Amino acid sequence: MSEQRLVQRCSAFVALTARMSARRQLRVCWEGLPRTNAGRRALRCSRLRLYAIGDGHHSSETGLPGIPACTRRAASVHRETRETDVRVQLNIDGTGVCRVRTGIPFLDHMLHQVSAHGLVDLEVHAVGDYEIDDHHTNEDVGIAFGMALAQAVGEKRGIQRFGHFVAPLDEALVQVVMDFSGRGYLNYELQIPTERVGSYDTQLVREFFAAIASNAQLTLHIRQLAGLNSHHIIEATFKAFARALRMACEIDPRRQHQIPSSKGALTDQQALRSVDGA
Ligand SMILES: [Mn+2]
């Protein structure tokens, strides 16, 4: 069996056994692989991957072609100020498991869109100074989410980097385009016709995405192509954001271990390192 084929089988086993206990997962993987060095390496990869999924430990690269590094692309951020206390946990290789409670019901509804359509496992717990208004809490959830996203993609090795999607919701149509460029930039062109959706101030949508863009160092363009209803326009935006995010974060099988940049750097640390090395 070729190494490529082993790798495919190994990945298939990991997917197949995702709901089994860790011990049973390992047995199924091992039973399906030949007792060769390549088979052992493939198993080691699946074992590392299962281990990583199981308890959040980071494991190293496999060195096998065709299988991405067995690191868990997850992050956890706790950010506390005099205005808010926000905890965000996310896993960008998730399945859409979502537990969010921000104290802002409409924002919770939107975070569910990000999780469900971006296949991001997401846990958000926030409390804030709602007696003033929702501004601080909304923004700080965006900041913590952006920070967690930056942590989860890490040095961005192997990611697609660019993502885009156009999402409809009835009459609304919104395009989101993003680039994990290492530079925070937001171009926001929504024209939301009402000041509020329920109790949610619609100006906060811009604040939320601005916080994500600057903290995840993401170039983000949001463009409304059509739309009359405020709820529809905002929800279509979050759906498009989710799908674009999923696309941008996916591992490119043709360059799994490379930084997707012609200058070889997408973070300040990488750029500084290349200056050090020069
Ligand atoms: Mn809705």
- For residue 200, list its beta bridge partners: 197
pLDDT at 61: 37
pTM of the model: 0.76
Closest CA to 153 of 260, 48, 238: 260
For residues 123, 78, 142 and 72, what is the CA-based torsion angle, rounded to 10 degrees? Answer: -60
Contact 181, 138 (CB under 8 A): no
- From ligand 1's centre to the CA of 113, what distance in Å? 9
CA 19 to chain centre: 22
- From ligand 1's centre to the CA of 184, what distance in Å? 28
Count of CA atoms in the C-beta half-sphere (13 A) of 60: 4
pLDDT at 56: 33
- From ligand 1's centre to the CA of 62, what distance in Å? 42
Closest CA to 77 of 210, 204, 216, 213: 216
Query: Tokens representing 65?
Result: 């072609």
Contact 187, 178 (CB under 8 A): no
CATH topology of domain 74-249: Ribosomal Protein S5; domain 2 (3.30.230)
Rg (CA), the chain: 20
CA–CA separation, 97 and 181 (whole Å): 27
Amino acid identity, residue 46? S
Instruction: Show Cβ contacts of residue 108 under 8 Å, excluding neighbours closer than 6 positions.
Output: 100, 101, 102
DSSP designation for 116: H
- From ligand 1's centre to the CA of 171, what distance in Å? 13
Q: What are the extents of the domains in the chain? A: 3-55, 74-249
- From ligand 1's centre to the CA of 34, what distance in Å? 50
Residues with CB under 5 A from ligand 1 (ion): 235
CA–CA separation, 74 and 53 (whole Å): 10
CA 12 to chain centre: 23
Which mean pLDDT values do the consecutive 10-residue runs of the chain (278 residues) have?
63 56 59 69 55 35 40 91 98 97 98 98 98 98 98 96 98 98 98 98 98 98 98 98 98 92 88 61
pLDDT at 48: 45
pLDDT at 29: 61
- From ligand 1's centre to the CA of 5, what distance in Å? 44
Contact 74, 56 (CB under 8 A): yes
Contact 126, 86 (CB under 8 A): yes
- From ligand 1's centre to the CA of 47, what distance in Å? 40
Query: Tokens representing 87?
Result: 């905890």
Backbone angles phi, psi at 147, to 5 degrees: -65, -40
Backbone angles phi, psi at 157, to 5 degrees: -65, 125
3-class DSSP state for residue 13?
helix
Transcribe 190-258 into DSSP letters.
---SSSEETTEETTHHHHHHHHHHHHTT-EEEEEEEE-S-HHHHHHHHHHHHHHHHHHHHSB-TTSTTS
Backbone angles phi, psi at 66, to 5 degrees: 90, -10
Interval 50-93: pLDDT, tens: 433 333 333 333 333 333 444 679 999 999 999 999 999 999 99
pLDDT at 98: 98
pLDDT at 272: 77
Contact 103, 137 (CB under 8 A): yes
- From ligand 1's centre to the CA of 235, what distance in Å? 6
- From ligand 1's centre to the CA of 231, what distance in Å? 6
